[in-house]
Amino acid sequence: MSKIILPILALAFTFVVTVARGAEWTTDYNQALATAKASNKYVLLDFTGSDWCAYCIQIKKVVFSSPAFVTYARQNLVLVELDFPQRKVLPDKVKKQNALLERRYKVEGYPTVVMLAPNGKVLGQLNGYEDQRPADVIAWMQKLKKKQTG
């Protein structure tokens, strides 16, 4: 009996730790591109108003913090948060980078999620949040990956 229970408990513990830690997000775009290229992972850019945009807060809570997304991201993505807060103060370097990228990717509202290939090529963009579930966003990313590779 313990031969069955111990592996199940170990798996459950690993799952809980993975979810509790969440996915790793960076604010350094250039470093993310270098990491993605070196590890052959895709880049997910999240243009957000983290402290004022209700839809941004919702997508983070429902999608980006979900166990399914965290697991998928750890295996496939380099995550970049490009924040445009109203109350939180960002370093000038980050603010300048984010403004430049906002123009480069033609962001017109928040949240905007952009997926890049490991080489930095734009594969697709989600504008806004319309109650997508983690499975919806993962399916969107899988479709973009498949289209790019095949």
pLDDT of res. 57 = 98
- In degrees and rounded to multiples of 5, residue 114 shows phi and psi of -120, 135
pLDDT of res. 148 = 86
Q: From CA 94, how far away is CA 126, in angstroms rounded?
A: 22
Task: Supply the DSSP symbol for 40.
Answer: T
pLDDT of res. 32 = 98
- The predicted model scores a pTM of 0.85
- How does DSSP assign 86-132, residue by residue? SSSPPPHHHHHHHHHHHHHTT--SSSEEEEE-TTS-EEEEEES--S-
pLDDT of res. 74 = 98
Angle at 86 between CA 85 and CA 89, to 5 degrees: 70
Each residue's pLDDT expressed in tens, for the chain with a length of 150 residues? 555 554 454 444 444 443 445 789 999 999 999 999 999 999 999 999 999 999 999 999 999 999 999 999 999 999 999 999 999 999 999 999 999 999 999 999 999 999 999 999 999 999 999 999 999 999 999 999 999 876
What the chain holds in terms of domains, given with CATH numbers, is 23-149 (3.40.30.10)
* Contacts (Cβ under 8 Å, ≥6 apart) of 118: 36, 37, 39, 40, 41, 42, 43
Residues 66/134, Cβ–Cβ less than 8 Å: yes
pLDDT of res. 22 = 79
